[in-house]
Amino acid sequence: MFESEVRVPNIPGIHARPAAELVKYAARFASEIFLEANDLTINAKSIMGVMMLAAVTGTILKVRAVGPDESQAVQGVVDLISSGFGEEMEDAPEGGTKATD
C-alpha cells in the first residue's frame, strides 16, 4: 500500500469535469486507487464515488493505492489534483492561474 495527501487547489473544487478527468486517469492503473475525505473512502475509478466526496477548494484528500503500480498511481493522481485540472486555483504554483479578488 502506498498513500499520500493532496489539497484540492482549483475553484470550485472537484465538480463534474475534473471528476471525469480523474476517473479516466485512474483507470490507466492496474492498482486499486482510493480517495478519502470527509469520513468517506471511495474508489477513484468510480465517477459516482468521486462526485460523492464533494471535494471543494481546500479539501485535503488522502490518496491510497494497492497493487503492482501503486506508487506511480498515487503520485500520478496527486500530481493531477495538484495541477488544478487546468482551472483557476486558489494558491497557484509558478506558471499556474491564481484567483484574484
**Active site amino acids:** 15
All cell numbers assigned to 49 = 464515488
Note whether 79 and 28 are within 8 A (CB). Answer: no
